[in-house]
Structure 1
Amino acid sequence: MAATKIASDYVPNPGYSQADWNAVTDNPEWTADDFRTARPFAEAFPTLGEKLRQSRGSEKERVKIPVTIRLDAAIIDAFKATGEGWQTRMNDVLRDAAARLGPAETKG
């Protein structure tokens, strides 16, 4: 078993400060008994485990592309006011508008 970390073991690092190091140095290393009595995440937190299992799977092909766009605050507020799913509703409105524009011209 490795020795317990002490504050004097701190090595300067851009990822964490001396204060960060000091805050976790009292975390004991796991013993064989700790490993023996540990329970799987889904057993220890069944509600959260079920919610994680219900999450969306990986996309087979890229359907949506994340973008950054500047819109009037009033537009965002209006869609947000419709409640959960406002981004999907905004996507639907934009899809309808794009269909009315016609097929995109290929530039070459």
Structure 2
Amino acid sequence: MPSDEEDAIIQAGIDADTENPEWSAEDFARARPAREVLPPAVYAALTDKSKPRTVRLVTDEEDRARRIGRPKLEAPKLHVNMRVDAPVVEHLRASGKGWQTRVNALLREAVEQGRI
């Protein structure tokens, strides 16, 4: 239960919300049952007890993964900003799509062989 002070803060927020004001007694008096205002098919789908509704709770990790895209790599690549001679970059780019991947493979091979 909120304290009186917390309750006052909550109520002030409700009172300040002009887009979704708290219902008055008149609002409740005008309200009509869902079966009177919804299309029959919609009402039937919402109230059909023969089809149990299942709710699957997701973990924070699953929720975060859905929002931020693919899983993190074990050894992610680093973004590097470096200056390279223009003719070198032009030659590499001219080799076509995937040139950066090929450069990475060449550098990895050179490191593994102890050449750099």
TM-score by length of 1: 0.38
Of structures 1 and 2, the one scoring higher in RCO (CA 8 A, sep 6+) is: 1
Q: TM-score, normalised by structure 2?
A: 0.36
More helix by share: 2
Structure (1 or 2) with the larger CA radius of gyration: 2
